[in-house]
Amino acid sequence: MLSMLVAGSHFEGTTRKYSTMTDTFDMAALVAQLTTDEKLMRFVYDDKTGMPIRAGSHVLGNPTVGIGRNLSGCGLSSDEAVMLCQNDIARCAAYFDMSIPWWRTLSPVRQRQMLNLGFNMGPGKLVSDWPVFLHAMLVHDWPGAVDALKNSAWWHQVGSRATRVAAAILAG
95-144 confidence digits (pLDDT tens): 999 999 999 999 999 999 999 999 999 999 999 999 999 999 999 999 99
In this structure, are 68 and 28 located in the same domain?
A: yes
Alpha-carbon distance of 41 to 38, in angstroms, equals 9
Both 55 and 83 in one domain: the answer is no
Whether 49 and 99 share a structural domain: no
Give the model's confidence band at 8: pLDDT under 50 very low, under 70 low, under 90 confident, else very high. Answer: very low
The pLDDT-based confidence of 4 (bands split at 50, 70, 90) is very low
**CATH number for the domain that contains residue 89:** 1.10.530.40
pLDDT cut 70: percent of the chain above it: 88
Confirm whether pTM is higher than 0.85. Answer: no
Segment 3-14 mean pLDDT: 40
pLDDT score at 14: 39
For the segment 62-70, the average pLDDT, to the nearest whole number, is 94
How far out from the chain centre does Cα 125 lie? 16
pLDDT at position 164, please?
98
Range of the domain at 112: 79-171
**95 and 147 part of one domain:** yes
Is 5 a residue whose pLDDT tops 80? no
Looking at the structure of the chain, the number of domains it has is 2
Whole-number Cα distances in Å, 60 to 15, 53, 64, 66, 156 = 27, 10, 12, 18, 36
